[in-house]
Amino acid sequence: MRSESHANDEFPVFTLTCPGQDCADERVHSIQLRGNLPLMIGSYVIAEIKHEDLIESWETAISLPLNDLNAMTALAGQRLSEMLEENLDAEDLTELVSDAAVLFLLAMRRFGVSEANRIPACTVKWNGQEATESVQMLA
């Protein structure tokens, strides 16, 4: 599993996507029907964030001071970049999904989402060079 290809002098870029109801993937619909949040990591992994885990993680994210929020976002992005650059084993998937969920939720918080239940269909793009994310709403 690798992030988007890049030359040695380029920095890693990857995406995390929370698909909307119009997604054609039946796995996404199954996750949504269970009341959970689907999270696509690049084009490789579809993760399921259980609703109770989402709420608990969201409460932690909203309690962070801005400096900590910024530092944790950069750290999660860097860790995820490194993991995506390596050939992951199945046992590494739990850590990958955990870091992806952290980065995604912190990005939602920085983007201004006020509640976990209000997370929109969107894509978070990580730019390794700038060590920051950008959020793009999906139609």
Q: Give the list of residues 6+ apart from residue 124 with CB closer than 8 angstroms, or none.
A: 15, 16, 17, 103, 104, 107, 108, 133, 134, 135
| Predicted pLDDT of residue 10 | 65
- Of 37, 62, 73, whose CA–CA distance to 115 is shortest? 62
Residue pair 19/121 in contact by the 8 Å Cβ criterion: yes
Instruction: Please give the order of strands across the beta sheet that includes 122-127.
Output: 45-49, 37-41, 13-18, 122-127, 132-137
Q: What is the pTM of this model?
A: 0.87
Number of residues that make up the chain: 139
* pLDDT tens-digit readout, 58-108: 999 999 999 999 999 999 999 898 888 876 666 678 888 999 999 999 999
